Amino acid sequence: MNDKKRQRDIPQINERIRFPKIRVIDTDGGQLGILSSQEALRIAEEKQLDLVLLSEKADPPVCRIMDYGKYKFEQEKKAKEAKKKQHAADVKEVKMRYKIEEHDYQVRVNQAERFLKSGDKVKATITFRGREIQHSDLAEDLLKRMATDLQELAEVQQAPKREGRNMMMLLSPKK
């Protein structure tokens, strides 16, 4: 199987194109018509360029006369640009207790807002100590309040739920 994969990774250019008839496109984008592989290769060599297979699924397969090195460089450049623009959404956590003071709560909301604006998901966690776990309804109310405070920026991906000594909720940025 590795041999087949390796053969697929090797670009089909010049002598590697083994179709009897191919549709040939010139350097300026004009069609030269349907030619034999040898004839198209001869034309490409006269222009000191390469014959590159663009689509083998077409009938007949489509090839273009171009500078393969330049083409490969452009493809790599496009791939690099696309990768740069990609932003992997991280999960940022905002921790608090259910008896949080108003100012501290506002600080947590501002943090979550900043994370959401940068495209990250926010995990809001409330930690219980000792017998505080009896007040899980207050913690749930606090998380719901946070969700409503951030409703313009975020949507609730996972509703408040208890996990052991914590209650957590997951918010994701709105598109």
Residues 69-87 have pLDDT tens digits of: 888 898 889 888 888 877 6
Model confidence, pTM: 0.53
Q: Chain centroid to CA 60: how far?
A: 34
Q: Phi and psi dihedrals of 108, rounded to 5?
A: -65, -40
Domains, the chain, ordered by start:
2-71 (3.10.20.80), 91-173 (3.30.110.10)
What does the alpha-carbon distance between residue 157 and residue 122 come to, in Å, rounded to a whole number? Answer: 10
Residues 84-120 have pLDDT tens digits of: 877 677 889 999 999 999 999 999 999 999 999 988 9
